[in-house]
Amino acid sequence: MRIVLLGAPGSGKGTQAQRLQAKYGVPQVSSGDLLRDAVARGTELGLKAKAVMEAGQLVSDDIVLGLIRDRLARPDAANGFILDGFPRNEDQANSLNALLEDIGQPLDAVLLLDVRRETLMQRLAGRRICPKCGTVYNVHSLNGATTCPREGAELFQRPDDKEEVIGRRLEVYEKQTQPLIAYYAKLGLLRTIAGEGELDSVFERMEAAALAKPLPPSSVKVSTAKVPKKKVVVKAARKAAKKTRKVAVKTAKVKAARKSAPKAKRAKAAARTAKRAKVAKKQSARKAGRKPARKK
C-alpha cells in the first residue's frame, strides 16, 4: 500500500492515515509531523520552517523531499507508506514521482478527502493538542474542558490554527493544490472520498478506495469546460434580454385583456337585455291589436 492523501487542512487526512497505519502496518509519513519534529529539535531547517508555517505559507520543496527520502529509507516503510500533506502542487508531484521511482516505490493510489470550507474552518479553529501525548481534540466536542482527558495537561492551539492564518492556508491550498486533482486523475490514480460524517464511515470509504486497483492512464479522460469568448457571451446576453422583453410585453397584454374583460362582458349583457325588452314590447303590442308606437 503506497498512497498519497490529498485534502485541505482540517480534512482529516492525519486521522484516517493513523487508522490505515494501524490496520495495515505501514507508516504514516506526514510532512507536517516531519517539519514539526525538525522545529522541535531546533535544527537550521526547522527554524526556517517555523517562520514559514506560522505565516501560513508552504515550506520549500527541497526541505520536505529530503525529510521524506530519509523517512522512507527506514525498514518499516519497505512494504509501503501513507504520505500525508505532500505533494501540494504539480511541481512537487513531479519531484515526488522522481524520488519514488528512484527508490523503487511508485504510488498505488491517491486519495482525496472532500470536505466543505465551512466544516474546515470549524475543525481547524477549534483544534487543540495535548503537549504530552499529542492527541488532537476539538473545542466543540470537549464541553468546555481545556485539559487532556488522558494526561491532564493544558491543551494548546497551534499558531497555524488561528483563524487569520487558516484563511490564508485555505487560499494557498485552493490556488496551488487543487490542480493536483486533474494531474492524478490523468494518471489513473485519483480516488475521491466524501470526508464528512462519522469517522468509521469515512474510514470504510477510505479503505475501499485505497485497496481499489489503479486505472491505466490510457483509459482516463479528463475534460475541462471551455470558457466562452466575450463576443459569444455578449450575443447570448442580448438574445436572452430580447426574449425577456417579448415575454414581458406578452404578459402585459394578457393582464390588460383580463382586466378589461369584465367591462366588455357587462356591456354585452346589457345589450342583450335591451334587445330582449324591445322584442317583448313588440309582442305585447301585437296581442293588444295595435301597432307599436314608432319613435319620433
- To the query of whether residue 266 is one of the catalytic residues in this protein, the response is no
Choosing from 2, 169, 191, 205, which is the catalytic residue? 169
What lies within 8 Å, CB to CB, of 50 at 6+ separation is 39
Choosing from 19, 36, 48, 158, which is the catalytic residue? 158
Instruction: Specify the 3-state DSSP secondary structure of 4.
Output: strand
Choosing from 2, 50, 71, 88, which is the catalytic residue? 88
- To the query of whether residue 13 is one of the catalytic residues in this protein, the response is yes
Residue with cell 464541553: 143
β-pairing, 81-84 vs 28-30, is parallel
Distances in whole angstroms, Cα of residue 35 to Cα of each of 31, 63, 85, 183: 6, 9, 11, 26
- To the query of whether residue 258 is one of the catalytic residues in this protein, the response is no
- To the query of whether residue 205 is one of the catalytic residues in this protein, the response is no
Instruction: Specify the 3-state DSSP secondary structure of 92.
Output: helix
- To the query of whether residue 238 is one of the catalytic residues in this protein, the response is no
Instruction: Provide the 8-state DSSP code for 97.
Output: H
Query: How far is residue 137's CA from residue 183's CA, in Å, rounded to a whole number?
Result: 33
Exposure of 82 in the CB half-sphere (CA atoms within 13 A): 25
Q: Could you report how far apart the first and last alpha carbons of the chain are, in Å?
A: 113
Choosing from 13, 128, 191, 205, which is the catalytic residue? 13
- If we measure between CA atoms, which residue out of 141, 137, 87 comes closest to residue 110? 87
Choosing from 127, 128, 191, 205, which is the catalytic residue? 127
How many CB atoms sit inside 10 A of residue 55's CB? Answer: 13
Listed as own residue / partner, the contacts of 35-40 with beta carbons closer than 8 Å and 24 or more positions apart are 35/59, 35/63, 35/64, 35/67, 38/67
| Catalytically active residues, by annotation | 13, 88, 127, 158, 169
